[in-house]
Structure 1
Amino acid sequence: MKSTLLEAVYRRFSHVETEPLYCIATFVDPRYKDRFFTSPDNLKRAKDSLLEMVDEITNASSDPINEEPVRRLDKRFKKLDLDDSGELSVEEFMSLPELQQNPLVQRVIDIFDKDGNGEVDFSEFMEGVLQFSVKGTKEQRLRFAFRIYDLDNDGFISNGELFLTLKTMVGKNLEDVQLQQLVDKTILSADTDGDGRVSFQEFCQVVGGLDFHKNMVLDV
């Protein structure tokens, strides 16, 4: 009975793994990266789907006459736009079951939301996705990762911001005292100028050589 139930759940929700937002949120989450997929085939299809969409956006932007890719992208966008408002609310993003389980989805939405109105329109969505294309630069992807932790967008990661972000990731797997010790050690190690916070330059010095940004370009 258990196996039957698991098969039924898989059939019902397996398509979610090809949704671009699920792919993005999963790849930028350091706990999952490209491992949070049920099979190698689903992982490959998810990557191919997102890359295909990015290529379509790139081609459409460089060829104003070619409007068909834009129509296809708009159709995909509208699958999430449940109320046909032309903007995606947090609730609409969270209507995808698998996205509800990813703790970084809210941060990804906040970063996509350039005008800060609480919703993501088509252009914001496309601009956000383009950062993960092969045409995106290493700096763009590092800045995106940095902004995951920079909650107040002041250009620095404070001790409190790092704690809150990591708390979102680890949940109850670490006691607050243990997590705070980890945060304190991380800040102390990364903070080369001694101001008690981590700048983008300091962040790059710590993670820039790890090549983790290559995971954010979907290994292409």
Structure 2
Amino acid sequence: MAFQSPMPSREFLWDIFRRVDKDRSGYISADELQQALSNGTWNPFNPETVRLMIGMFDKQSRGVINFEDFGALWKYVTDWQNCFRSFDRDSSGNIDKAELKNALTAFGYRLSDSVTLTSAFRQYDTDQDGVITIHYEQFLTMVFGLKV
């Protein structure tokens, strides 16, 4: 699958990094990243999702990321955003049941309709009707939670 996006210029990333690094420490904390992120619903990202994102790229295990780490995080999130958009066929900003099934199939999962209600799916299927609608942050949370 070709979801990778080209890396933006160093100058572009530096400008973004400086705006996110509110305390000018040279590092971005989970709190600073959370304030900068938008999930398309005007609600802040879940703090745990942000901590997971920082943790994935925090090479020194300090709970913050430097500029180089930020570049890697930017690319990773942009690639997943492109992936999300490729499966959001109706451009609704949400992944419905059929779109999720297509995404799982593309990732190599061959699941029958009755098996698609995994624990991650059930978490969003509160009325247990087999239909969910999720936005980008929820999609990321599900992806980060997959044990492949």
Q: Bin the TM-score by the shorter chain.
A: 0.3 to 0.5
Structure 1 or 2, whichever has the larger Rg, is: 1
- Greater RCO (CA < 8 Å, at least 6 residues apart): 2
Q: TM-score, normalised by structure 1?
A: 0.30
Higher helix share: 1
